[in-house]
Structure 1
């Protein structure tokens, strides 16, 4: 499938798109084949996914966006939920003329949005990729000390603090090199707003997919780190049991290895998208 409207493969498009009362910053690397839509973690800007995108097939159309109140997107005037965000994402893809169906990848908080998107638009999604994520409000939670660190976006603003808590919060490579996460946060063009972060927290606090997972018919790849303090590995096993067409790939890393160890995990994603996993 060629790039839409004469866009040449490799062309990059960045702009603000107004949709459903939101002003969403998007980044599209146009290419061919089934597009890959990336949904980021809480408070994170799309730029943090640069290491992953650099490791993916350069001929693939890759769509990234900043959630309301993060990165370059404007803060939402009111709180929102994942059903509303899924509608917003679908209309965003239509405005961009992104061909469907798409493959959708959700990292952490973005995994909830990816699941909700598939619930609402099953015919618009070919494959689902869930990374370091869980089933929302009904899940096996992290330790209280870990959850406490997640309550504010301070780590995005204070690089020294991010380095101090990096290992305990993210696990994996961040345990041996706590600065690796802080360095990635340096890529954020705009600090996450407190209001935007709060809206994202609220969206996750009232949402769960635990009962609806058996309804997902798409082939699903679950990527999970065995050293993930935020999402204990048992959550990946629970999702694997409830998703009828899922593949579970466990690795020895932590919560953000998709970014800090992209060279290892990107090939797993590519094999799955090609139907080899």
Structure 2
């Protein structure tokens, strides 16, 4: 059986074929998992990440009872086009992808930079987004330490992967969870996504830094979001600190807040089982 013989219902993140669809002149790469019916959950990825940077333990479990779509936005991985340097343009491209798939209503899970994009989409497209999950992210004008934390992580040459110091705390439990996460992301060997280097990371860094550097004293972006929202953060997120999560929780009109213990930016991967449980409960309510 080849990858293309696998149906969405049978597929996992490790086995699903990478498919392509065109929207706004961009050829988007994506993988679809889970049943064919139900409100699709669209995943919006973190800074520098592609489809294969998602944790199969999270994606596969979420796809057990709902359609889940992981995709590369413009210029990322195998998607064509140029990666924009601002969140608003990234949001327009993501909406073009959702429209190309023919979805009239979706749930969004935005992680890190993806959470900024998810906020923009939810604020501008109230009818398109049913529910919103914001993980390890920040509001407009929020606190970020991206460049300093990246520099420190890449200076740790003994780390097997920079995501280990970036996403996990220094505790033995968190580091062990981090190594398990890295192992899961490497299971897929064939048809893996591509890393497009600075052509992606430079504009994405500018987009994230600009988002956090742009004051929104009246919280207009958050107050435009009327959808039920689940806000999630790790207790020791060094990139986009947890006080961002609390700030969003306070200003959103209909939000729940979850903080995970002894965890960093990758709290959803470290605490994958309880994270999936919380997401399911939230989406099914």
Matches within 5 A, 1:58-97: 58-74=64-80, 76=82, 79-97=84-102
Distance 1:260 1:159, change over 3 A: farther
Distance 1:162 1:184, change over 3 A: farther
1:148 to 2:151 alignment? yes
Contact in 2 for aligned 1:39/1:113 (Cα 8 Å): yes
Once residues 147 and 88 of structure 2 are traced to their aligned partners in structure 1, the CA distance between those partners, rounded to angstroms, is 28
1:251 to 2:260 alignment? yes
Name 1:226's counterpart in structure 2.
Answer: 235
Contact in 1 for aligned 2:47/2:204 (Cα 8 Å): yes
> SS of the counterpart of 1:212?
helix
TM-score, with normalisation over the residues of structure 2? Answer: 0.79
1:50-71 deviation digits (Å, cap 9, x = unpaired): 2211212523111111133433
Distance 1:194 1:219, change over 3 A: same
Structure 1, unaligned stretches of length 5 or more? 1-6
Name 1:214's counterpart in structure 2.
Answer: 223
Contact in 1 for aligned 2:120/2:221 (Cα 8 Å): no
1:32-65 deviation digits (Å, cap 9, x = unpaired): 2111111011111112322211212523111111
Name 1:103's counterpart in structure 2.
Answer: 107
Q: Shift in Å at residue 180 of structure 1?
A: 4.3
Aligned residues: 261
Superposition RMSD on alpha carbons, in Å?
A: 3.0
> SS of the counterpart of 2:268?
helix
1:36 to 2:74 alignment? no
Structure 2, unaligned stretches of length 5 or more? 1-6
Once residues 203 and 260 of structure 1 are traced to their aligned partners in structure 2, the CA distance between those partners, rounded to angstroms, is 26
Name 1:166's counterpart in structure 2.
Answer: 164
